[in-house]
Amino acid sequence: MASLKDVARLASVSLMTVSRAINSPELLKPETLKQVQQAIDALNYVPDFSARKIRGKSSRISTVGVLALDTATTPFSVEMILSIEQTARQFGWSSFVVNITSNGDYDRAIRQLLSQRPDGIIYTTMGLREVTIPESLHKSRLVLANCVSQNKQFPTYIPDDFNGQYKAVCRLIEKGYRKPLCLYIPKDTLAGKTRREAVQAAWSKANLPLESLMQYHLESGDEHYIDVIELIDSHCQNGQPDFDVVICGNDRIAFLAYQVLLSKGLRIPEDIAVLGYDNMIGVGELFYPPLSTVVLPHYQLGQEAALHIIEERSHCDTQYVACDLLERKSF
What does the alpha-carbon distance between residue 21 and residue 14 come to, in Å, rounded to a whole number? 11
Query: Is residue 269 reached through a cis peptide bond, with omega within 30 degrees of 0 on the bond before it?
Result: yes
Q: Give 1's pLDDT tier (boundaries 50, 70, 90).
A: low
Residue 53, pLDDT above cutoff 50: no
Annotate 285-308 with b (16+ C-beta within 10 A) or e (fewer): eebebebbbbbbbbbbbbbbbbbb
With a pLDDT cut of 70, the percent of the chain lying above it is: 95
Q: Write the pLDDT tens digit of every residue in 138-180.
A: 989 999 999 999 888 899 999 999 999 999 999 999 999 999 9
Q: Do domains 4-47 and 63-158+298-321 have the same CATH topology?
A: no
CB 153 within 8 A of CB 186: no
The overall average pLDDT reported for the chain is 91
What does the alpha-carbon distance between residue 59 and residue 96 come to, in Å, rounded to a whole number? 19
Residue 10: strand, helix, or coil: helix
3-state secondary structure 180-242: EEEEECCCCCHHHHHHHHHHHHHHHHCCCCHHHCEEEECCCCHHHCCHHHHHHHHCCHHHCCC
The residues spanned by each domain of the chain are 4-47, 63-158+298-321, 161-295
CATH 1.10.260.40 fits 4-47, yes or no: yes
Domain 63-158+298-321 CATH superfamily:
Response regulator (3.40.50.2300)
Start-to-end Cα distance in the chain: 54
Q: What is the pTM of this model?
A: 0.80
Topology given in CATH for the domain delimited by 161-295: Rossmann fold (3.40.50)
What does the alpha-carbon distance between residue 284 and residue 296 come to, in Å, rounded to a whole number? 13
What does the alpha-carbon distance between residue 199 and residue 150 come to, in Å, rounded to a whole number? 26
Q: Whose CA is closest to 305, among 113, 87, 96?
A: 87
Q: Mind giving me the DSSP string for 136-189?
A: GGTTS-EEEEEEEESS--S-EEEE-HHHHHHHHHHHHHHTT---EEEEESPTTS
Q: Mind giving me the DSSP string for 261-287?
A: HHHTT--TTTT-EEEEEE--TTTGGGS
